[in-house]
Structure 1
Amino acid sequence: MPLDDGLTPIVDAPLIEPAQADAAQGPDVLAVCQRQSAPRRTTWHAHARGQLVSADRGLLSVDTGAFRSLVPAAYTVWLPPGLAHAVQSHGPFEGWSAYIDPAVCGSLPAQPGVFHASALLRAAIHRLAAWTSGPWTPRQTRLAAVVLDELAAMTPAPLTLPLPRDARLRRIAQALSDDPGCERRSDQWARWAGLSPRTLSRRFAQETGMSFTAWRTCLRVLCALPWLAEGAPVKRVAWDLGYSSVSAFIAAFRQVMGTTPAAYRATVQQR
């Protein structure tokens, strides 16, 4: 279950009525977009429809028990029908979700995963969400078919970050996800969470497969991706993420992504 620090107000409510998420009748695709000033989370639940959920900005934590990950904006999480899960945003929530009739989920993955959300998919879901309820027009039906075609063609995305299981480590991961530019050292984080530095180092590597330093570097790079895609200057992104120099940020970005921030931004904008 996603954790919070007990200080930041969090909206804990479903994006649509549970009865709609379980409805066998109705459109093949139910879509909703939402924007709010507070973080959002949904605690453990399941519904009959499959679900896509994505942030337009920031990060999402997604937990299905076996699958725990941080997901950057412009990527989407697929949750098959009936799968119990919990989702939380880091920072104010701005994003969307689509609920897919299980009768049309046959061509979609049987397991949860993170996928690249194409611009066409995002635009179609935003359009569907803007239409009021009621009998669908032929145009709406055609657009829902476009969404399903895009879902079937989604490509898996390796840009996720595993979350630790230990509650103390999850508290650190939560705080860093909320403020990736925080400059606390690992020993300071250990004291903050009630751990010894050695325990933090050992347990983090055991539970995520990465050192704490490597995990934090990947987190910062994930946070940088949507900012760069929107055209933010590399220098500003570096400073916002807590780097003391632009060159240090470029080196970290290249280590994770295999390219420079400027080259990544150019590639995304061409797409």
Structure 2
Amino acid sequence: MNTPLISPQIASSDSEPMIISAVSHSSQRVTLRHSHSRGQLLGTLQGLISIEAESCQWVVPATHSVWIPPNVQHSLLRSHGPFEGWSIYIQKNACTKLPVKPYILELSDLLREAITRTMSWHNSELEPEQKRLIAVILDEIRTMPQVELALPMPKDMRLLKIALALSDNPSDNRKINDWGVWAGISRRSLTRRFTNETGFNFTQWRQKLRMLKALELLAAGKPITEISLYLGYDNISGFISIFRRNFGVTPGNYQKAMINRLSWRNFTNTTIRNDNHINSKLTK
């Protein structure tokens, strides 16, 4: 079990307009439910994360981020694979015009670059241009539309066990009967509860999970054939067809579009120095 990126006490302080943190772990990361008086925008540089906020549980890819308003209970259920994460904590009085419910937003190019810029700040007092950049970040959070990309997680502990196992290994092609035996739940209950708790049947949920993982791997520049095999597809044409049906473009075209965002990887080199190291900056 891991502690939050910064302590809830620091995250509840109100002296600095923004606190920026980054952390890297060679293994999965889990944090307990907690809250703080600041709003929080968090995401990863690679991998999927399972987030719980209020009554919602989602699987979120590295191409997106999670907005958590002030004083909302939340936890990182699990990072799936090595974890490289970032988070910005926004002063409570600056959150009055921001969304009052947790939601998922895509990392726009502008928001991505603005966050990257803040990670290079070293001065203790904010310059006028830095204050304007913080205002840009707030505007992006406020105006970016909510997306339906994130995948709801089931709440039943038996179903959650299955969902987390698939998140760790999306290529697992066990049939629904086998999953039921493994988790100790009947096929009928598994089928009914999965749909009731996530809005998707089991097959749809697994397919959407694989598509989220595909987005991350494509953004990382992995070959499409390799991605297809990793996600458990028997042939690349089937993977391409399902991807295009979900996102309206082929995996190849999506990957080309992501090339322009490769500067985000510089974030890793400039802010995350060593394994298990937290780098936090207070902007005053």
TM-score of the pair, normalised by structure 2: 0.85
The residue that corresponds to 1:92 in the other structure is: 82
The residue that corresponds to 1:18 in the other structure is: 8
The residue that corresponds to 2:213 in the other structure is: 223
One-letter code aligned to 1:253: F
Give distance in 1, aligned partners of 2:181 and 2:249: 35
SS in 2 for 1:57: strand
One-letter code aligned to 1:234: I
SS in 2 for 1:58: strand
Shift of 1:112: 0.9
Check if 1:70 corresponds to 2:59.
Answer: yes
Kept in 1: contact 2:8–2:35 (CA 8 A): no
The residue that corresponds to 1:45 in the other structure is: 34
The residue that corresponds to 1:102 in the other structure is: 92
Say which of 50, 57, 66 aligns to 2:46: 57
Say which of 227, 236, 244 aligns to 1:254: 244
One-letter code aligned to 1:165: K
Check if 1:189 corresponds to 2:172.
Answer: no
Give distance in 1, aligned partners of 2:206 and 2:242: 10
Larger displacement relative to structure 2 (226-235 or 127-136): 127-136
Unaligned stretches of 5+ in structure 1?
A: 1-10
Give distance in 1, aligned partners of 2:123 and 2:11: 14
Give distance in 2, aligned partners of 1:229 and 1:93: 16
Check if 1:202 corresponds to 2:192.
Answer: yes
Give distance in 2, aligned partners of 1:119 and 1:37: 27
Change over 3 Å in CA distance of 1:269–1:158 after alignment to 2: farther
Larger displacement relative to structure 2 (139-148 or 157-166): 139-148
The residue that corresponds to 1:4 in the other structure is: none
Residue-by-residue CA offset, 1:93-131 (whole Å, 9 max, x unaligned): 112111011111122111110001123323332342344
SS in 2 for 1:63: strand
The residue that corresponds to 1:150 in the other structure is: 140
The residue that corresponds to 1:171 in the other structure is: 161
Shift of 1:151: 2.1
SS in 2 for 1:41: coil
One-letter code aligned to 2:208: C
TM-score of the pair, normalised by structure 1: 0.89
Kept in 2: contact 1:31–1:126 (CA 8 A): no
Kept in 1: contact 2:11–2:36 (CA 8 A): yes
One-letter code aligned to 1:83: V
Shift of 1:241: 0.7
Larger displacement relative to structure 2 (132-141 or 49-58): 132-141
Could you tell me the percent identity over the aligned residues?
Answer: 43
The residue that corresponds to 1:34 in the other structure is: 23
Off by >4 Å, runs of 4+ in structure 1: none
Check if 1:161 corresponds to 2:156.
Answer: no
The residue that corresponds to 1:7 in the other structure is: none
Shift of 1:226: 1.9
One-letter code aligned to 1:100: I
SS in 2 for 1:13: coil
Greater relative contact order, per chain length (Cα 8 Å cut-off, separation 6+)? 2
Unaligned stretches of 5+ in structure 2?
A: 262-284
